[in-house]
Chains A and B, each alone.
Chain A
Amino acid sequence: MDSPLSLDTLFHIGPVPITAPVLVSWAIIIALGLFSILSTRHLSLLPGKTQTVLELFVSTIDAQVRDTVNRDPAPYRPLIGTIFLFVLIANCSALVPGIEPPTAHLETDAALALVVFAATIAYGVSGRGLKGYLATFAEPSWVMIPLNLVEQITRTFSLVVRLFGNVMSGVFVVGIVLSLAGLFVPIPLMALDLLTGAVQAYIFAVLATVFIGAAAGEAPGETPPSQEEKSP
């Protein structure tokens, strides 16, 4: 088994090396895109089973975002929902033999955290204005500016490390146990990885929501929610 800390290039598209996480991500994108197109072709006011699941998923995302951000969840729904779905499916892709989860590699987690970081800035500027967003770094005092700047980097870095560490460790442990014990021994560990993957997807999405909500600030005329960053 190859080390999860290293990436092997599968092929090149021009000068661009295509690695396994990219290829798996493309497969996930294609699968999710086809599923979305096919499952939303015949939506009706009287939903079927698939539509009910989709509506429940969207409603849950909306409720979670609304409770966290205390704003209309519509602007945040695509980003948070996509991150949750992608991380969840990517974590679960380890069930397919021969496939490593893209999130078990640092680049995928870093890309996700980078998107969250950019979204935090974008929603912060959009919600508070550039001056208002920059002013948040001086809260509660200008003395805190360096710490707040460092916090922006560290919490993004913590997103990367948390997801990468949990998923990579699971894959690593399963690989070690598989190499030492046999074919069916790692199955309980794989089941545990499924749970860990779902929890990590939820944590990643919730933390992204918290970061974005904190950056966007309070909605006009609404009371701020009491939220704290949660760590596993």
Chain B
Amino acid sequence: MPMTIDWWTLGLQTINVLILIWILARFLFRPVTKIIADRQAAAHAALDEAQQVRDAARAARDEANAEAAEISRTRAALLEKAQDEATQAREKLLATVRIEAERARADTRAELEQMRGTAKTALAEDAAALAADIAARLMGRLPDTARVDGFVDGLAKAVADLPEATRTGIGTGDPVRLRAARALTDDEQLRLEALLIDALGHPINLEIETDAALIAGLELDAPHAIIRNHFRADLDRIIAEVTSHA
């Protein structure tokens, strides 16, 4: 059987194939590839979004870590600051307590000193009273003249030992007050006035008072000088020295 080619069929089939290629390209391959590309784009978009979310989550985690580190640093700083403040407060409190203790100790010491002084004073007063009492009792056993006579010369000598300016001011104006352990007799007053005139170098007008507290002796009370020559002054001086040395 001879084999022939139908050229019309060949040409029509070629055209048919080309038409079919166009039809399928237009209505099959293009839409399907487009939807595949769209799905891939959507998948990529979803992946990108997921990546962004993951990046955001990582950033948030890093930020949280940074905040935690910052909080830790702040906490450490606050703790250190609190410790410093506590140390300072403790030192300040200790200093205050030390000062208070020192002050209380000083107050106590002062109070003790005051009590000791008071006791010493009381003791001196008691001693003075006892000495005065002893002296008074002893003087009571001596003749009554001994309470004045033995002290007249001493008073005159003490006046004579005063500076010239002081001696000049004594007795030039008002009467000079003279205290005596007992009332002077006329002789004793005359003798005393004579000795004072000798010591002062000018007349003197005496205003004589009696003061038993002197125990024995005289005391001249001029405006600018007081000359004590009696047991009471001696006893007071002795007590004062004894107290100061105690």
Contacts and interface: CB of A to CB of B under 8 A. Distances in A.
A145 interface: no
Given A5-B3, A45-B39, A78-B24, A21 B32 contact: no
Given A5-B3, A74-B33, A45 B42 contact: yes
A51 B31 CA distance: 10
Given A7-B9, A21-B9, A107-B6, A32 B23 contact: yes
Interface in B2-37: 2-6, 8-14, 16-25, 27-29, 31-36
Contacts of A86: 17, 20
A79 B22 CA distance: 9
A174 interface: no
A32 B21 contact: no
A85 B25 CA distance: 12
Q: How large is the interface on B (under 10, 10 to 19, 20 to 34, 35 or more residues)?
A: 35 or more
A39 B42 CA distance: 22
A107 B16 contact: no
Given A45-B42, A58-B32, A16 B20 contact: no
B38 interface: yes
Interface string A135-155: 000000000000000000000
A68 interface: no
Interface stretch (A111-119, A195-203, A222-230): A111-119
A33 B23 contact: yes
Contacts of A36: 23-24, 27-28
Interface residues of A, number: 48
B46 to A, nearest CB: 11
A111 B16 contact: yes
Contacts of A28: 20
Nearest to A87: B17
Contact of A102 (B11, B13, B14, B22): B13
A58 B10 contact: no
Contacts of A59: 36
A115 B12 contact: no
A132 interface: no
A125 interface: no
A53 B2 CA distance: 44
A49 B138 CA distance: 151
A102 to B, nearest CB: 7
Contact of B9 (A44, A74, A79, A107): A107
Nearest to A37: B27
B32 to A, nearest CB: 5
Given A29-B20, A115-B14, 19 more contacts: A5-B3, A17-B6, A19-B6, A29-B19, A33-B27, A40-B32, A54-B28, A58-B32, A77-B25, A77-B33, A78-B21, A78-B22, A81-B28, A81-B29, A82-B21, A83-B17, A111-B11, A111-B14, A115-B21
26 contacts: A5-B1, A16-B8, A16-B12, A21-B13, A25-B13, A25-B16, A25-B20, A29-B16, A32-B20, A32-B28, A36-B27, A40-B28, A43-B31, A44-B35, A51-B32, A78-B24, A78-B25, A79-B21, A82-B24, A102-B13, A105-B9, A106-B3, A107-B6, A108-B13, A110-B5, A115-B14
